């Protein structure tokens, strides 16, 4: 059966779109493949063969050894990063709600301040941040790193939540006010449930950002055990790098964000769609 013009055009578009997806997929998959293949090679083979050549044998010994070494830092990173992502999202949504409720000059200027805070490169504020953490006696502790991450990432959370909040129609809030609900109840019973996808997206985003952060843990720690990115960095030795171990550490260290994103990715997308209004969430 011959295809109609519309169908032809349609399938051409589908093919073009698929091609784009494949190209992007490869761009993303190649480094992971490189990490995996590198971690399966012996040190000699890693140094002697091109990065993308497959390993001559499947030797999981390096990965297993590095995994044992990473257990501590992985756990530390989790217990630092999870509360930070959750707390920053919570604080951010509260800030976003009050900005959304006020909608006046005060809230506008707070909004601008938050936006500026988000765009400041964190290297610029590291010195005062470190001094603050030190003065609190939290240098080289997980709470110290958590506090610094929280300080730096809460404005970003607020900014994201303002964007998600603006997708919530105001009449729900007004209806709740007329029904007699005070601010906190409006937030808890009406706004939070409608923010669901936005909260998930923001939390996923913050989890990944804080997990991957390097400088803040680096400057607030003496050793390498407090954060996964430091631990990975530690495989870059002064006298020579153990490339296969570094590959394995990088692979293992990037798995948690990857898993989070893959398993919760659809909420992330749903959140973005709620904002764009493209598809009903």
Partner 1 sequence: MAGKGIRVENLTKVFQPNVVALDNVSLDVEKGEFLVVLGPSGSGKTTLLRIIAGLERPTRGVVYIDGEAVADPSKKLYIPPQKRDVGMVFQNWALYPNMRVFDNIAFPLEIKGLSKSEIRRRVKEVAEVLGIQELLDRYPRQLSGGQQQRVALARALVKNPKVLLLDEPFSNLDARVRVTARTFVKKVQRSLGITTVLVTHDQADAFAVGDRIVVLNQGRIQQVGAPRELYDEPANLFTASFIGDPPMNIVEAHASGLEAIVSGKASIGEGYRIGVRPDEAIASKTPPPGGLVATGVVDLVESTGSREYAIVNIGRASLNVLVDPSSSLSPGERVYIVFRKVHIFNEKGERIATIVG
Chain residues binding partner 1 by CB under 8 A are 169, 171-172, 174-182, 185, 189-190, 193-194
CB 132, min distance to partner 1, A? 39
- In three-state form (DSSP H/G/I as H, E/B as E, the rest C), the secondary structure along the chain is CCCCHHHHHHHHHHHHHHHHHHHHHHHHHHHHHHHHHHHHCCHHHHHHCCCCCCCCCCCCHHHHHHHHHHHHHHHHHHHHHHHHHHHHHHHHHHHHHHHHHHCCHHHHHHHHHHHHHHHCCHHHHHHHHHHHHHHCCCCCCHHHHHHHHHHHHHHHHHHHHHHHHCCCCHHHHHHHHHCCCCHHHHHHHHHHHHHHHHHHHHHHHHHHHHHHCCHHHHHHCCCCCCCHHHHHHHCCCCCCCCHHHHHHHHHHHHHHHHHHHHHHHHHHHHHHHHHHCCCCC
Residue with Cβ nearer partner 1 (61 or 179) = 179
Residue with Cβ nearer partner 1 (105 or 222) = 105
Task: Report CA-CA distances (Å) from 39 to 24, 66, 108, 225, 229.
Answer: 24, 10, 51, 21, 17
Residue with Cβ nearer partner 1 (57 or 104) = 104
Residue with Cβ nearer partner 1 (75 or 188) = 188
CB 267, min distance to partner 1, A? 16
CB 172, min distance to partner 1, A? 6
CB 176, min distance to partner 1, A? 7
Residue with Cβ nearer partner 1 (61 or 174) = 174
Residue 49 CA to residue 127 CA, distance in Å, equals 42
CB 204, min distance to partner 1, A? 21
Residue with Cβ nearer partner 1 (189 or 266) = 189
Residue with Cβ nearer partner 1 (128 or 182) = 182
CB 205, min distance to partner 1, A? 23
CB 92, min distance to partner 1, A? 21
**Contact (Cβ atoms closer than 8 angstroms) between residue 140 and residue 220:** yes
């Amino acid at each position: 059966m011959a295809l109609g013009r519309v169908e032809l055009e349609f399938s051409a578009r589908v093919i073009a779109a698929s091609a784009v997806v494949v190209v992007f997929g490869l761009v993303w998959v190649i480094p992971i493949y490189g990490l995996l293949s590198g971690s399966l090679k012996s040190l000699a083979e890693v140094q002697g063969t091109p990065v993308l050549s497959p390993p001559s044998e499947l030797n999981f010994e390096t990965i297993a050894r590095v995994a044992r070494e990473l257990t501590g830092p992985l756990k530390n990173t989790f217990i630092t990063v999870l509360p930070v992502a959750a707390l920053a999202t919570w604080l951010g949504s509260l800030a976003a709600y009050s900005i959304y409720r006020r909608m006046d000059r005060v809230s506008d200027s707070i909004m601008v301040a938050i936006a500026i805070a988000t765009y400041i490169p964190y290297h610029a504020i590291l010195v005062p941040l470190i001094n603050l953490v030190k003065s609190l006696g939290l240098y080289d502790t997980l709470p110290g790193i958590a506090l610094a991450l929280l300080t730096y990432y809460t404005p970003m959370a607020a900014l994201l939540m303002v964007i998600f909040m603006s997708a919530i129609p105001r009449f729900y809030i007004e209806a709740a006010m007329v029904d007699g609900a005070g601010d906190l109840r409006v937030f808890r019973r009406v706004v939070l449930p409608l923010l669901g996808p936005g909260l998930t997206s923001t939390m996923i985003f913050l989890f990944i950002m804080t997990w991957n952060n390097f400088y803040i843990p680096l400057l607030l720690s003496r050793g390498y055990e407090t954060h996964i990115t430091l631990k990975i960095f530690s495989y870059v030795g002064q006298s020579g790098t153990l490339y296969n171990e570094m590959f394995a550490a990088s692979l293992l260290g990037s798995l948690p964000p990857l898993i989070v994103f893959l398993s919760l990715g659809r909420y992330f997308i749903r959140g973005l769609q709620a904002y764009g209004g493209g598809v009903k969430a």
